[in-house]
Chain A
Amino acid sequence: MAEISFELPDLGEGLVEARVLEWLVSIGDMVTRGEPLVEVETTKSAVELPSPQTGVVVTFHAEEDDLLHVGDTLVTFEVDDEQAGIVGTVPKAEAPERRVRLQLPDD
């Protein structure tokens, strides 16, 4: 087994830091990639970050209410050896499948 760590990802729109609101998993949990991992608060809004990795959560590098900068270590997983060399990024929540625009007459 090996350990792999992830940083707070770039949240876009020039945001450089975020505060941890709530961890959505516990130490020792087996989580799958894409599963909700942590909720963070930026100056603009609250964001739920999905897990970047399938593995067992071994360390939170920030507690609730802690302020993290983009690039600070966020979380460490224990993973199978063959996965250890893979560098991942935290995926973004996916947008829905169908997008439609409606043209309406004047009210």
Chain B
Amino acid sequence: MTPTATTQEVRGSLEIHYEVTPGDRPILLVHGFASNSTLSWVNTGWLTAVEEAGRGAITVDLRGHGQSTHLHDAERYSPQLMAGDLVVALDAAGVPADSPVDVIAYSMGCRVALALAEVAPKRVRRLVLGGVGTRELFAEWDPDAAEAFLTEGTTADDKLMQQTLTIAMSVPGNDPLALLACIRGMAGGPVTRAPDVPTLVAAGERDEVASDAEELAAQLGAEFVSIPKRHHFTAVSSRVFKQAALDFLS
């Protein structure tokens, strides 16, 4: 059950938290499910690498994540709605509408970045998609089992879901009802439409979530980089990933 009082309260306003690191040609960084900008892009050394490359950065906490509003209503989560949040953040950061930015996204953030390229094609110059394959994980998950785990701690049969949600709930500040709404709202079909911009797909060679990332790259007509020895949660900080992404965007 979603507590209606809380839902009513957050319906009135949505706050999107974003941060700007000054520098040339800022790169928009989009984190994944149950993460936030600090975990995905600061602690992993990404902002340092972006700055060293002479580039600026705009990081956005997606709705339901980090310091943005933790909405509890599944209808308020979709790749398109989150892409809209990115547009608002770009506008607020002073990026001109006719000045496309490079985008680096990870895991669920890739679906948001692809939606951005679809709904606001003039805002995107190049795309880097990390930790993503053709599988759409949320559509494979049983939402009732996810709810039972997130609200009552009931162990789920789906081991990958259990592992992902366990890590999700270990992140301070994560809200189980917002994560559940996000899972339900974001669940959808596989990525099919290729973006109209040059795209790079990268994934850890041991990434269970993105085991067929190379297949996705082929479908999107994208370049592909395999990150040696890394799995889904360790590929994001890899030097190989950073170098490949920054070279691709240079």
Q: How many B residues are at the interface, by size bracket? A: 35 or more
| Tally of contact residues, A, Cβ under 8 A | 29
The answer to the question of B88 belonging to the interface, with a C-beta cut-off of 8 Å to chain A, is yes
Instruction: Specify which chain A residues have a CB less than 8 angstroms from the CB of B39 in the assembled complex.
Output: 45
Interface majority SS (helix, strand, loop, mixed), chain B:
mixed
Known A-B contacts A48-B44, A93-B45, A96-B47; the reply to A41 vs B234 at CB < 8 A is: yes
User: How far, in Å, is A49 (CB) from chain B's closest CB?
Assistant: 8
A102 pairs with B59, CB closer than 8 A: no
User: How far, in Å, is B76 (CB) from chain A's closest CB?
Assistant: 6
User: How far, in Å, is B69 (CB) from chain A's closest CB?
Assistant: 9
Known A-B contacts A50-B48, A102-B89; the reply to A95 vs B15 at CB < 8 A is: no
User: How far, in Å, is B197 (CB) from chain A's closest CB?
Assistant: 25
Q: Of B16, B49, B172, which is within 8 A of A104 by CB?
A: B16
Interface string of B166-197 (1 = CB under 8 A from A): 01001110000000000000000000000000
Known A-B contacts A13-B172, A44-B167, A106-B11; the reply to A100 vs B237 at CB < 8 A is: no
A96 pairs with B20, CB closer than 8 A: yes
Interface string of B17-39 (1 = CB under 8 A from A): 11111100000000000010011
A96–B38 Cα distance when bound, in Å, is: 10
Interface residues in B202-250 by Cβ distance below 8 A to A read 230, 233-234, 236-239
The answer to the question of A47 belonging to the interface, with a C-beta cut-off of 8 Å to chain B, is yes
A101 pairs with B15, CB closer than 8 A: yes
Instruction: Specify which chain A residues have a CB less than 8 angstroms from the CB of B99 in the assembled complex.
Output: none
Q: Of A36, A48, A95, A105, which is within 8 A of B38 by CB?
A: A95
Interface residues in A47-68 by Cβ distance below 8 A to B read 47-48, 50
Report 10 cross-chain contacts, Cβ distance below 8 Å, ordered by A residue.
A21-B230, A21-B237, A47-B44, A48-B44, A93-B47, A95-B19, A100-B17, A100-B20, A103-B13, A105-B14
Given pairs A50-B48, A96-B47, 4 additional interface contacts (CB within 8 A): A21-B238, A47-B237, A48-B44, A102-B16
